[in-house]
Amino acid sequence: MLASGLLANYCADNQDDRAHAVDKYLHRLQLSDETLMDVSIRFRREMDKGLCRDTTSTAAVKMLPTHVLSTPDGTEQGEFLALDLGGSTFRVLLVTVMADGKPKVEMENQIYPVPDHVMRGSGSELFDHIAACLADFLDKMGMKDKKLPLGFTFSFPCQQANLDESVLVSWTKGFRASGVEGKDVVSLLRASVKKRGDFDVDIMAVINDTVGAMMTCGYDDHHCEIGLIVGTGTNACYMEQMRNLELLDGDEGQMCVNTEWGAFGDDGALEDLRTDFDREIDAGSLNPGKQLFEKMISGMYMGELVRLILVRMAKEQLLFQGKTTAELLTTGSFNTSFVYAIESDKGEEGLASAERLLRGLGLDPSVEDCVATQRVCQIVSTRAAHLCAATLASLLRQIRDNKAAEKLRTTIGVDGSVYKYHPEFSRRLHKMVRRLVPDCDVRFLRSEVGSGKGAAMVTAVAYRLAAQNRERQQILDTLRLSHEQLLEVKRRMSEEMVRGLSKQTHEQASVKMLPAYVRSTPDGTEHGDFLALDLGGSTFRVLLVRVRSGNVDMHHKIYSIPQETMQGTGEELFSHIVCCIASFLEYMGMRGASLPLGFTFSFPCHQSKLDQGILLKWTKGFRASGCEGQDVVTLLKDAVRRKGEFDLSFVAVVNDTVGTLMSCGYEDPKCEVGLIVGTGTNVCYMEEMQNIDGVEGDDGRMCVNMEWGAFGENGELDDFFTQFDRDVDECSNFPRKQRYEKMISGMYLGEIVRNVLIEFTSKGLLFRGRLAERLKTRGIFETKFLSQIESDRLAMRQVRSILQHLGLTTSTCDDSVLVKEVCRVVSSRAAQLCGAGLAAVVDRMRQNRNLEQLSVTVGVDGTLYKTHPHFSRILQATLQDLAPQCKVTFHKSEDGSGKGAALITAVACRMKNAAVNQQGGGELSG
């Protein structure tokens, strides 16, 4: 043995000199930070190849989907069985997960041998043996009569098609059971269990040990989204965005990807970094040319790599006075555990261990030989740790980029003998990871109980997700409408239209079917200059519309209406509007001009002629006194007269829906329906005069303003109204009014979504059951969020930023997916209900005209229709389904409320000039 005195006399300078000599000899095994960064970039490219559908078949790094969709969230509970098969023994575990108070896991397990004749026999013998051991375990636990969920850790190369379906690619680790390769191991286990017939299990998941490590640590740390194994072999898995997994359908949420990174370099990507020692290791292995990265890192090869270096140095007279022994020359004689002992961080123990182990190989080492051997071990294990850090850096960058995070906070769950037992490996790995990705805050968490618990946790998560999904779908099903239900909505809307048109039932009808006194759409011959006013909110527009030979040229200015004017007197409001008109005419150089004027007045009105509108009630925050029950045209005329600066020819007062119809009708003569789906919703269409009881005359057609938002006020929608609709209705400014509108329009959809999210959270189905205070605020979930969330193609980034705005800073990727699903269900229902109502309208028009097939255009406006990514498509599909005899084209209105008012005025002027027999009162006669 090396005497302590000899060690003391062997000064530090000599030790350093000897280490420097080894460093020089092995300089190719010492990788600079720059080289490691390059390795990280190369691995990222290999990851992309494995993820891409077109290149995965030739990729060295396979990036296999595991079908594990979520990590534990702490709410899992129940009893789960786990099997862990990966060597000559296997374990059966009963894992009890408790979620009351602080999450806790209790485990009972038993190890069973796998005899050689079973490992090398038939597949049915192997799985019968596993089933027999499982039966024995259940018998001892007194649980044979229970059917428990089971997770299976099967640590052999497999191709997974589902979480519970895994096809063995090839046996390793001494297994040769026939008839298993190419087969689904879950099916084989199920067959053996069924054959016994004395117990049953629900096999829910099959995983490998890397996923097991991530899931085990993920239970203790919810930030854990990477699993790492550095033991006999090496591998890593991580949570990837579904949109990047081109091999699978779907682009929402995430899935754990098993990188199988041991094969990195099999295609030559690491050839410039591999040394002669690496090539010698590979040539002498059971699988030459395969798993080249693993052969530079893992415990199976680390000791052998050191042995080959020692042999080469001895042959070159650099060690052991040039002598070798039969033991040193024997493959596998230098175990990786020797490296752990020699690199001991306890004073001189490492050098003492070096001497002892070298003597065990028949050598007579000097102190210099022991120091050199220790340095060889350090260089080999440091390279392994640093290469592992380089590839981990690639995974961390991928996750950070997926989240578009400036700084990533994450945890890596780690298992494996090298990581756990090598005295310096973990420290070197951690230090280099932090140097390579300084913008990632990384915690390393050791998996203490192996892959068995991991399999149970995967099963527990799958069990939780399945149960939660069932409960969520039951809730969402109340918001889903069948084809039959939509047909019923169409039928009831048709009935209400008839009631609204009839003099006898008009007063009781929810759909008022108000005559708009517009009896013609544009024909393209309109000509002249027209003024248009557009009042419908806190701003007000004045437009000059020039109509010439099929072209429309517009100039406009927007004026604000102060809050005190909105809520003052009517005289103040209309005087303010007239001042804005005077300002506009001055601006346009038309002071004193007298032009025909159309007035878009988007508040509920009763009309008895085109140029009259009796305000029924103010909405949208207006409270100006002395206006309700008055003709708004008269109020405007009075204000013009008081101003005394100009005169106007009042021709028409319309709402925005009729304006949309006219605006689109100018560009498409087939346009006979106007639709608004924005903050509110409404429809107008050209009805046969003979069907409008409230207006004299039977010839021709007249535009009818349906005011369909009130559909349902007589109970027509009660059986479709959900608890969420009732909550929104009761908290609205006008309970039990505008019920159809409250199920469709932009003013209310966000509130419906908010109520569903609160329900999910209260049941523990979302946000881990923690409700943010801000989400309790009415109106906080704006309808524009639906459009943003459903448009999202950026790995749920938009969803996450919205949830953070709502105070849900700890929401997960799973939460984002669920929020998106809720938005989709609510907006789809709105589009379908709108489509059902529109089907009633166009089918009525077809029947009115006794047509087998109707071809018509719908002019449409409104932010929900225009900006929501799917609303228009779903509406149109529903319409086609419910009114198959109508061919409907949709034409987006670019400025229905302004341009439309001017065009109604233009049509009125055209018809007035052309008519021989003009009906009085400003009505557009046919």
Antiparallel, parallel or unpaired: β 528-535 and 596-601: parallel
Q: Annotated catalytic, 602?
A: yes
Active-site option among 353, 447, 602, 816: 602
Q: Annotated catalytic, 116?
A: no
Angle (CA) 902-908-910 rounded to 5° is 100
- Which is nearest to 42 in space by CA: 317, 313, 390, 338? 390
CA distance 666 to 901: 12
- Which is nearest to 688 in space by CA: 497, 528, 879, 410? 497
Q: Which residues 6+ apart lie within 8 Å of 531 measured at CB?
A: 542, 543, 544, 545, 581, 595, 596, 597, 598, 648, 902
Please count the other Cβ atoms lying within 10 Å of the Cβ belonging to residue 762. 11
Instruction: Check: CB of residue 153 under 8 Å from CB of residue 130.
Output: no
CA distance 60 to 268: 9
List the beta bridge partners of residue 683: 675
CA distance 268 to 266: 6
Tokens of residue 271, six digits? 């050839």
Burial 713-729 (b: 16+ CB within 10 A, else e): bbebbeebbbebbebbb
Burial category of 38 from C-beta neighbours within 10 Å (exposed 0-12, middle 13-18, buried 19 and up): middle
Burial category of 322 from C-beta neighbours within 10 Å (exposed 0-12, middle 13-18, buried 19 and up): exposed
CA distance 887 to 880: 8
Active-site option among 541, 754, 800, 829: 541
Q: Annotated catalytic, 656?
A: yes
Helix (H) or strand (E) segment spanning residue 516: none
For residue 317, the number of C-alpha atoms closer than 13 Å in the C-beta half-sphere is 0
CA distance 619 to 530: 28
CA distance 726 to 748: 12
Q: Which residues 6+ apart lie within 8 Å of 911 measured at CB?
A: 520, 924, 925
DSSP conformation class of 387: H
List the beta bridge partners of residue 688: 701
CA distance 401 to 389: 18
For residue 565, the number of C-alpha atoms closer than 13 Å in the C-beta half-sphere is 16
SS (H, E, C) 70-110: CCCCCCCCEEEEEEEECCCEEEEEEEEEECCCCCEEEEEEE
CA distance 302 to 341: 13
Q: What are the residue numbers of the active site?
A: 541, 602, 656
